[in-house]
Chains A and B, each alone.
Chain A
Amino acid sequence: MAQQQTDWAAIARNPKFIELHRRKSSFLFGWWIFSNIYYFLLPIGAGSAQGLFSVQLIGHINFGYLFALSQFFVSWAIAIYYASWANRVSDRLTNELLDELKLR
């Protein structure tokens, strides 16, 4: 275990780590909360806005169906956006930090 002597508190105070942690937290929890709000609109809406859910938009396909279907695409979109964000931001910051600490 080479890390036995690692000063974890020092790494935790490193500005690069603080930036990484700050940007990650706001991105991850922000999108997580968004995804949950969007999801819970479905059962709440189905229970309380039946009229809206029944509006037919394309032929017999109604708003309710498209909204439920959109849940899949929104989840996928968050996943893809996160992947690209992580490549651009958090992986880059992590690598910069590791380089600085000479851990790579």
Chain B
Amino acid sequence: MKKFLVIMIVALTLGVTINVILPSISLAGAENSIAAAITAQAPTVHKVEANKTITITLFVIIVLITLGIVIWAAKRTKTTADFYAARGAITGLQNGWAISGDYMSAASFLGIAGLISLYGYDGFMYSVGWLVAYVTVLLIVAEPCRNAGKFTMGDILSFRSNPKPVRAAAAISTVCVSVFYLTAQMVGAGKLMELLLGIPFKLAISGVGALMIIYVVFGGMIATTWVQIIKACLLMTGAIVLCILVLAKCGFNPVQFFTDVATNTQIKTWVQINLLHEAIPKAGFDYGQRFLEPGLLLKDVWDQISLGMALVLGTAGMPHILMRFFTVPTAQAARKSVIWAMFIIGTFYILTTLLGFGAAINVSPQLISHVDPGGNMANLLLAQMLGNQIAPLVGDFLLAFLCAVAFATILAVVSGLVLAASAAISHDIWVNIIRDGHADQHEQVKAARIAAIVFGAVAVIIGIASERQNVAHLVALAFAVASSGNLPVVILSLFWRKFNTAGIIAGLIIGTALSILLVLVSPNMMYPKTIAAGAQKIVVALEKKQAGGAVLTDAEKANLAKSKIQYEQNKDGTSLMGLDKPWFPLKNPGIVSIPIGFLSAVIFALLFRSKKEEDAFDELYVKQNTGIGVADVLKH
């Protein structure tokens, strides 16, 4: 217990120190990406005003319950098998809930419902890939990974290859994916807490960071698993309750529900004015029905295919998802857990559709985008409104409950990521590369805990430094790296006899580097000259109007002044990579980086054939198919 307090104090001090040291590291960033962003800030006119007493009480309850779990788990966390894999003693059903808890982020819960409430059909279509991805996990990676792996992706990859360079490359790519995904989650969490409760950004991130470090350091995989299970249960409860309230409005008749969407006058106006930019309605055009048709948000087919590829292949290469399969005892349990997860995650996204459309009907897209241009407050506004219609206290409670759900969601996802990254750092780099595998249990667990503290602290610092950055593309980047770097080498290692060390290293490094490079030169980045051109257009239009004798309104005057400044600030700027405009046309690099990731892995494997590694394929292949020897893996 003493250790516990010490760490808590250290973490909190760290948070406060960062507040003091890093107040000014920030860069101006344009919010030009729509998907999954919890980055945009709300104007102050209409706010989601969470009842602080109830919300904070619920937060405290969640923190206390999870800390209780940590204390319970800490007593059970002695060996590396406990720390990394919960002794392999998690059941299929438990692991299914934990996978769901690991996977469904606040961006899924708040972001996708928001996209649906603002853009209708396209928001729903966006959500589909997140479930379909699990078919790949189920059919291709879950069981072989359970049978061939131990604690990390590096274990699978180094099975028959030269372990040191392979583990190093695997650890680098794991840490990259985790940092990208974690930063997006942390910044989202900070913005959310700021928006909902008025907790300052830096304090919110430090708090979330301190909790995730505590969960992982003391409770390891056992605590992380149970935090994820609890979070998934809370998330499903919140979604189901809200859905019942939404459907009660249309008498639980889905056909009526969609009629309500298509005939809603506010939605019609929204589609006509804000989405299609038509000042005068076209005669006979059904703007309400248009909301249920594709093309309002996702306009580039290639970008969508590219995103789809990254999701479908990237999920199966996410280190924190792969790691979950080491927590179950058998391949059968791994299979069962993915199937459970698929039903939980799928149900959740179907409910999300109803919530998104429900928010559009009941709250109106206008108000939702007014409170937050990214739509992230849609579910919360909906909860507040539907609850208030029953009784003001119910509205307050529902809103507070959903805020608590979002909070739990963030905690569960970030803990999983910290655990995966610290496993790669300590198990792959420290124990197997630096110490040559000669470290006793005590030292290994200690190394894992130190890695978790350091990685968590770095994540908090990066999160705080990214306050004003557009982090939405980091989610896409994490999936791009996982799908182009990790997945090709995992699949080829498990299924291709001729695959070897050279292929693994080339695949990991080229796939990872190419994904990062393509995102850096993609439209995700900020291009000052494009911003300047947009600002100049406004300036020209307004000055022309002024020159024509018209008197500008106050809003127009403000806009003119703002645009002039924006133009001056941006006219000579270039993007982070020194470009005037994007060099790569798509926001998602998958369609290029995934085939190249696969190809480079194959080509390098064929260039540097290794007889020894090919001979060792039989062992790996028999093991991954049959699970022979798994019991031994768990014991040592």
B618 touches A12 (CB 8 A): yes
A51-67 Cβ-contact flags toward B at 8 Å (1 or 0): 00110101111101100
Residues from chain B with a CB closer than 8 A to the CB of A62 are 289, 292-293
Q: Which of A17, A39, A48, A78 contacts B312 (CB 8 A)?
A: A39
Q: Would you call B292 and A28 a contact (CB within 8 A)?
A: no
When each residue 104-146 of chain B gets 1 if its CB lies under 8 Å from chain A and 0 otherwise, what string results?
A: 0000000000000000011011001101101110111000000
A50 interface neighbour in B293, B298, B349, Cβ under 8 Å = B293
Q: Which residue of B lies closest to A30 (CB)?
A: B139
Q: For residue B122, which residue of chain A has the nearest CB?
A: A46
- Interface code B600-636, partner A: CB below 8 Å = 1, 0 otherwise? 0000000000000001001101100111110010001
Q: How far is the CA of A34 from the CA of B440 in the complex (A)?
A: 47
For chain B, what secondary structure do more than half of its interface residues adopt (helix, strand, loop), or is it mixed? Answer: helix
Find chain A residues with CB under 8 A from B259 CB: 59-60
Is A80 in the interface zone, CB < 8 Å from B? yes
Size bracket, chain B contacts: 35 or more
B261 to chain A, nearest CB (A): 7
Number of A-B residue pairs, CB cutoff 8 Å, is 162
Q: How large is the interface on A (under 10, 10 to 19, 20 to 34, 35 or more residues)?
A: 35 or more
CB-CB under 8 A for A28 and B293, given A39-B129, A65-B121, A94-B625: no
Q: Kindly identify, within residues 6 to 39 of chain A, every residue whose CB is under 8 Å from any CB belonging to chain B.
A: 6, 8-9, 11-12, 17, 20-21, 24, 28-29, 31-32, 35-36, 39
Binds A, one of B176-184, B334-342, B359-367, B429-437: B334-342
B20 touches A (CB below 8 Å): no
CB pair A61–B121 under 8 Å, yes or no, is: no
Residues in A whose Cβ lies below 8 Å from that of B122? 46
Asked if B335 and A86 make an inter-chain contact with CB atoms under 8 angstroms apart, the answer reads yes
The residues of A that contact B629 with a CB separation of less than 8 Å are 3, 6
A50–B298 Cα distance when bound, in Å, is 13
- Of all chain A residues, the one with the shortest Cβ separation from B299 is A47
- Bound together, the chains give a CA A60 to CA B260 distance in angstroms of 9
CB pair A97 B350 closer than 8 Å: no
Interface flag for B534 (CB, 8 Å): no
Q: Are A12 and B132 in contact (CB under 8 A)?
A: no
The answer to whether B305 and A60 touch across the interface, beta carbons within 8 angstroms, is no
Are A60 and B618 interface neighbours, CB within 8 A?
Answer: no
Across the interface, A9 reaches (CB within 8 A) one of B121, B140, B618, namely B618
- Do B289 and A24 touch (CB < 8 A)? no
Contact A76 B342 (CB under 8 A): yes
User: B165 contacts the other chain (Cβ, under 8 Å)?
Assistant: no
CA distance A97 to B122 in the complex (A): 49
Closest chain-B Cβ to A6's Cβ sits at a distance in Å of 8
Q: How many whole Å from B71's CB to the nearest CB in chain A?
A: 36
**Partner of A60 from B261, B339, B349, B626 at Cβ < 8 Å:** B261
Q: Does B585 contact A (CB under 8 A)?
A: no
Q: Which 5 A-B pairs have the closest CB atoms?
A: A47-B301, A46-B294, A43-B304, A8-B619, A59-B255
